[in-house]
Amino acid sequence: MVQLKCNGVFTPNAIDARENAPNAPNLTRVHSHLNARPRKIHRASKLHILTRVNRKCGRDVGGSCARRYLCKMAAVELAFQERVSLLYLLWRAEQRGKRRPRRTWVHQVLQRREHFGEFHHLLQELRLDDGRFQRYHRLSLAQFEDLLSRVGPRIARLDTNYRRSIPPAERLSICLRFLATGDSFRTIAFSFRVGVSTVSQIIPQVATAIWDCLVDDFMAVPSLGDWQSIAEEFQERWHFPLCCRALDGKHVQTKAPPNSGSMFHNYKGTFSIVLLAVVDARYLFRVIDVGGYGRTSDGGILANSTFGQALRAGTLHLPPDQPLPGGEHRGAQPHVFVADEAFPLRRELMRPFPGRL
């Protein structure tokens, strides 16, 4: 007699004459095979077993009908190795039915965010020292509060019945800390005691809100009077007349995206994206274009940018041509942008002579 586990209970079943042989297995061997990894069975035999079960029961192996049929078939028709394999399948079906231990909804470390988090603990002390606060955020306390008043309504979230939302000041602090240090999301998450996925959502949301709130005030399209005042400031500070702004490209080193090939590989031998920037006489950014491929030249990025297209089309509303100071006899000259030799020479774009004859 051999006992087989059927529906959670070991029941005796008669076996065929093959099991009366001297080498017939006993219950101890079957039970040891059940607890240990069973011996490998030929794939064709296993497929044959499953095919017969599905044809007989019309459902998965884990069903009650299938279990009863497996027990009967294992006791009467199958060889010992096949029965052990069926016992293992039954054990796996029971294991799948057991409930896994529930994971905590919010980890205990994150639950103590308001007591030990960096925003609620360290930053409250840094508010008493404006210098250290500025080194932490790259903004003074007054600038931080002014920025918070602008973007706060855009980044605020509603509280739920289960937990309170992260306040706008803490959201802004997380984003500014990332922009100031470039630390990984995981490092920021540990410092502020929030989830990594939460940080990955907060940073782009706050960055977008900052851009939307500040772009019209600090990077607006200049009027004719603005262009004229910028040209006068260039002449006063840098002794360059009829100059509206200066532009250049900057390679920002990054990791090559998957399946990007050599698109981001630059002449320096690294992978990068290109920041095309236009600044005024006080080094303040007025126009930016971010995301150009590292392999593209500065001139190519300018040609494909919105600013470059407007510059070629003459829709920037630059001041009218004027004579140079002391050069009235040479006639009126156009207002220009200055750049390095990586950019092409155009009527509205001035570049130095190349370093070759």
Q: Report residue 163 CA to chain centroid gap.
A: 25
Whether 125 and 186 map to the same domain: the answer is: yes
Look at the chain and report how many structural domains it folds into: 3
In a domain, 356, yes or no: no
Range of 308's domain? 224-350
- At 177 the pLDDT is 93
The whole-model pTM stands at 0.61
Q: Give CA–CA dist 344/357, Å, rounded.
A: 17
Whether 211 and 231 map to the same domain: the answer is: no
Q: Judge whether residue 242 has pLDDT over 60.
A: yes
Q: Give CA–CA dist 46/10, Å, rounded.
A: 23
Q: Give CA–CA dist 82/110, Å, rounded.
A: 50
- At 54 the pLDDT is 55
**Contact (Cβ atoms closer than 8 angstroms) between residue 314 and residue 306:** no
Q: Judge whether residue 133 has pLDDT over 70.
A: yes
Whether 141 and 176 map to the same domain: the answer is: yes
Bigger pLDDT: 149 vs 31? 149
Q: Judge whether residue 111 has pLDDT over 80.
A: no
Strand partners, 349: 337, 346
Instruction: Count Cα atoms within 13 angstroms, Cβ side, for 50.
Output: 13
Q: How confident is the model at residue 142 (pLDDT cuts 50, 70, 90)?
A: very high
Long-range contacts of 348-354 (CB under 8 A, 24+ apart): 348/311, 348/314, 348/318, 349/311, 350/243
Last residue of one domain, picked from the residues 97, 118, 137:
97
Which helix H or strand E contains 85, and what residues bound it? helix 80-97
- At 53 the pLDDT is 52
pLDDT tens for 224-237 read 888 999 999 999 99
- At 271 the pLDDT is 93
Which helix H or strand E contains 332, and what residues bound it? strand 332-333
Q: Judge whether residue 8 has pLDDT over 60.
A: no
- At 12 the pLDDT is 38
Q: Give CA–CA dist 291/298, Å, rounded.
A: 12
pLDDT tens for 261-279 read 888 998 888 999 999 999 9
Whether 156 and 260 map to the same domain: the answer is: no
Q: Judge whether residue 243 has pLDDT over 70.
A: yes
Mean predicted lDDT score pLDDT of the chain: 78
Q: Judge whether residue 246 has pLDDT over 70.
A: yes
In a domain, 103, yes or no: no
- At 30 the pLDDT is 42
Mean pLDDT over 50-73 rounds to: 54
**Residue 301 is which amino acid?**
I
Bigger pLDDT: 61 vs 320? 320
**Contact (Cβ atoms closer than 8 angstroms) between residue 296 and residue 283:** no
Classify each residue of 33-70 as buried b or exposed e, where b means 16 or more C-beta atoms within 10 Å of its C-beta: beeeebeebeeeeeeebeeebeeebeeebeeeebbebb
Whether 36 and 80 map to the same domain: the answer is: yes
Q: How confident is the model at residue 99 (pLDDT cuts 50, 70, 90)?
A: low
Q: Judge whether residue 158 has pLDDT over 80.
A: yes
- At 10 the pLDDT is 36
Q: Which of 76-80, 159-163, 166-170 has the lowest mean pLDDT?
A: 76-80
**Contact (Cβ atoms closer than 8 angstroms) between residue 145 and residue 161:** no
pLDDT tens for 169-203 read 999 999 999 999 988 999 998 888 888 888 999 99
Last residue of one domain, picked from the residues 196, 218, 240:
218
Instruction: Count Cα atoms within 13 angstroms, Cβ side, for 114.
Output: 6
Whether 167 and 234 map to the same domain: the answer is: no
